[in-house]
Amino acid sequence: MGIGAGSRHAPEYPEGGASKGWTEIEYRNFGDEAEGRFYGGVWFGKPGWVALDDFPFDEFCYVRKGVVRFTDSCGESRDFATDDAFFLPRGFTGRWEVIEATELAYVALGPF
């Protein structure tokens, strides 16, 4: 798993849905979203934030390097750094912030 392996995806967000200059790229290395069960790979992000509203699937992530922060709709925040793992549940509403350039290994779980 790594840069250039698998299919490349770079989501776009609506106006105001991400900080200016928000950059993220993911490489899907296994699974298939079209099958509706799971897919996974490596995600790369640079400092900034994106607003998440009713996150559409469950996702498990392992921080290979960097620091990310999640702030939920109640204002509670939690940081995850190199070698931490976290689970982002379907339906999460809040902010995903990249504090330091980050590389994650992830598995997204359907149905999609």
Which percentage of the chain shows pLDDT scores above 90? 79
Spans of all domains in the chain: 7-16+23-109
Q: Supply the pLDDT for residue 12.
A: 86
The pLDDT tens digits of the residues spanning 2-15 come to: 666 788 888 888 88
Q: Supply the pLDDT for residue 38.
A: 94
The mean per-residue pLDDT over the stretch 63-83 comes to: 98
- The CATH number, out of the four listed (2.60.40.10, 3.40.1110.10, 3.30.70.20, 2.60.120.10), of the domain defined by the range 7-16+23-109: 2.60.120.10
Q: Supply the pLDDT for residue 2.
A: 61
The mean per-residue pLDDT over the stretch 76-88 comes to: 99
Find, among 39, 52, 17, the residue nearest to 105 by Cα. 39
| Phi, psi (rounded to 5 degrees) for 34 | -65, -30
The model's pTM? 0.90
Q: Supply the pLDDT for residue 112.
A: 87
